[in-house]
Amino acid sequence: MTAIRTSTIAAAWLVLERDLRLAVRRPAQLIQPLVFFAVVTLLFPLGYTPELGKLRAIAPGVLWVAALLASMLALESLFREDAADGTLEQFVVSGQPLVGLMAAKTLAHWLLTGLPLTLMAPLLGIALGVPVVAMPGILVALMLGTITLSLIGAVGAGLTLGVRRGGVLLSLLTLPLAVPVLIFGARATELAILGESQIGPLYLLSALAVLGITLAPLAAAAAVRIGLE
Amino acid sequence: MNWTWFHRLGSPPHIYRIAGTLTPWFAWPAGLLIAAALYGGLVLAPPDYQQGEGFRILYVHAPSAWLAVMIYGVMASAAAVGLIWRMKVAHAVAASCAGVGAWFTAVSLLTGMLWGKPMWGTYWVWDPRLTAQLILLFLYLGYMGLRAGIDDLGRADKASAVLAIVGVVNIPIIRYSVEWWNSIHQAPSVMKMDRPSMPFDMLAPLLMMLLGFTLYFAAVMLVRLRAEILRRERTASWIREVLR
């Protein structure tokens, strides 16, 4: 054991800091999922109806499906470059628990996609006729939901590491697993729009997030280890 | 305690032989049970007083739906055994389960749709059990897709094993969330079968069918397992002796 051994928290913090810095230096990757989110959402008034009353009725589903797809789109790059340039291998041999580093990477992914998507949702909500009073509720629901989406996505991204044209497969793996988040998230959003108490679905979203935080980094670490073999 | 029996389970030639011996022991009872249950279900059982003759598709639908879920459990257990004890044969078992499970899921969906047309007046209703079953089909397809997507066999085994275990954790959550989702969006229009009050001559064929389908799965799985082992061990010397 060497004297300069860093603690796990410090190592995780370094990973987080590195990912954030890399993202800030390449803002295009940061912005693309947001643009995607906006475009997908705004296709619905064009494809369905410009009537705000009708749009309001489908707004929860539209917002959540669009956020889900946008978050999925950003997943592909979660591990790909790190796998290509050997960073992931360095993680594995660093002597630090891979679980902690995976948790840090997932947190970085959430800060870079989940959180911006959440913050952008009110703007798109207005375009779908969602009343402004519903916005805080929608923000909370999306914030809790996107955490779980990032966690599930990290497992999927780890599993598809060595797969050619893994993008479609990644979606096929993760979208069915994201169904509970979609259901509870859309329900919480719907209740927020109706002005009713959304505490029930919010509890369930939180429970999913806690379960995800507990188990997903373990699965992601196992998946990455397998992917690098 | 003597663990040799357990370690021998990891040996492909041993499993290949056992699977070959066991297959008829599952296949024959399966065939007889299914034939008897078909006769009992389609001929002997009286028509349902509400659903008429249409209820008889239940004899295929319910066992398929049960197997669809059970096979995922078997697959994930085998995958976990393979991951924990690094047992390649267990991974082969998981691989041979996936296709059968996906088919049973598809059969349960199709028969559910066929049953829905006379009962609900439409082929598809967003009934919680149908929806959960559809998601299960996607889970199977994802598993098979991941397996097919990775060239290296060892990596494909392990990655798909992790996916199967993640899926098993998620299946109950998905089932309950879909149930909850449905209770909000749809009035309970589903005709519930009162299982306990089902008369004996309707129930007996169903139970026989359940057992028959389960044994059929075991037989098919063993045949597929033998094929899978042959494919994996194609360069091994024992294959030449077996196939001579």
Q: How high is the pLDDT of residue B197?
A: 58
Q: Is B30 part of a structural domain of the chain?
A: no
Q: Is B203 part of a structural domain of the chain?
A: no
Among the partner residues B162, B165, B180, nearest to A226 by beta-carbon distance: B162
Q: CB–CB of A219/A152 below 8 Å?
A: no
Q: How high is the pLDDT of residue B185?
A: 64
Please name the residues in contact with B186: beta carbons below 8 A apart, sequence gap of 6 or more.
Answer: B126, B127
Q: Is B28 part of a structural domain of the chain?
A: no
Q: How far apart are CA B159 and CA B153, in angstroms?
A: 10
3-state secondary structure (DSSP) of residue B52: strand
Q: How high is the pLDDT of residue A110?
A: 95
Of A145, A150, A149, A131, the closest CA to residue A195 belongs to A131
What tokens were used for B210?
């359940």
Of B65, B187, B150, the closest CA to residue B115 belongs to B65
Q: Is A78 part of a structural domain of the chain?
A: yes
Q: How high is the pLDDT of residue B200?
A: 76
Interface test with A, best of B83, B177, B183, B186 (most A CBs within 10 A): B177
Q: How far apart are CA B144 and CA B164, in angstroms?
A: 10
- Chain A residues within 8 angstroms (CB to CB) of chain B: 155, 159-160, 162-164, 166, 169, 172-173, 175-177, 179-180, 183-184, 187, 204, 208, 211, 215, 219, 222-223, 226-227, 229
Q: What share of chain B is helix, strand, coil (3-state, %, to 5)?
A: 80, 0, 20
Structural domain for A147, as ranges: 8-227
Q: How high is the pLDDT of residue B117?
A: 84
CA distance to A16, A77, B126, B129, B130, per residue, from B178 (Å): 35, 31, 10, 8, 10
Of A92, A81, A84, the closest CA to residue A221 belongs to A92
B130 close to A (CB below 8 A)? no
Q: How high is the pLDDT of residue A138?
A: 94
Q: Is B194 part of a structural domain of the chain?
A: no
Q: Is A1 part of a structural domain of the chain?
A: no
Structural domain for B97, as ranges: 54-189+221-243
**pLDDT tens, chain B, 244 aa long:** 677 777 777 888 889 999 999 999 999 999 999 999 988 888 887 777 677 777 888 889 999 999 999 999 999 999 999 999 888 899 999 999 999 999 999 999 999 888 888 888 888 888 888 889 999 999 999 999 999 999 889 999 999 999 999 999 999 999 888 888 877 765 444 445 445 556 777 788 889 999 999 999 999 999 999 999 999 988 888 888 877 7
| Residue B242 one-letter amino acid | V
Q: Is B202 part of a structural domain of the chain?
A: no
Q: How high is the pLDDT of residue B188?
A: 44
B156 close to A (CB below 8 A)? no
- Which residues in A lie closer than 8 A to residue B163 (C-beta atoms)? 159, 173
Q: How high is the pLDDT of residue A7?
A: 84
- Cross-strand partners of B48: B52
Q: Following CA atoms A115, A118, A123, A127 in sequence, which dihedral angle do they give, to the nearest 10 degrees?
A: 140
- Which residues in B lie closer than 8 A to residue A162 (C-beta atoms)? 150-152, 155
- Which residues in B lie closer than 8 A to residue A227 (C-beta atoms)? 155, 159
B52 close to A (CB below 8 A)? no
Q: How high is the pLDDT of residue B186?
A: 56
| CA-derived radius of gyration, chain A | 18
Q: Is B27 part of a structural domain of the chain?
A: no
Q: CB–CB of B82/B91 below 8 Å?
A: yes
pLDDT digits (tens, 9 = 90+) for A25-51: 988 888 999 999 999 998 999 999 889
Q: Is A24 part of a structural domain of the chain?
A: yes
- Please say whether the dihedral angle defined by the alpha carbons of residues A56, A60, A65 and A66, taken in this order, is positive or negative: positive
The residue of chain A nearest to residue B172, with distances taken between CA atoms, is A180
Asked if B169 and A215 come within 8 Å (Cβ–Cβ), the reply is yes
Asked if B145 and A169 come within 8 Å (Cβ–Cβ), the reply is yes
Q: In chain A, how many domains are there?
A: 1
Residues of chain A short of pLDDT 70, as ranges, are: 1-5
Chain centroid offset of residue A214 CA: 16
Q: In chain B, how many domains are there?
A: 1
- Which residues in B lie closer than 8 A to residue A159 (C-beta atoms)? 146, 159, 162-163
Interface test with A, best of B72, B150, B183 (most A CBs within 10 A): B150
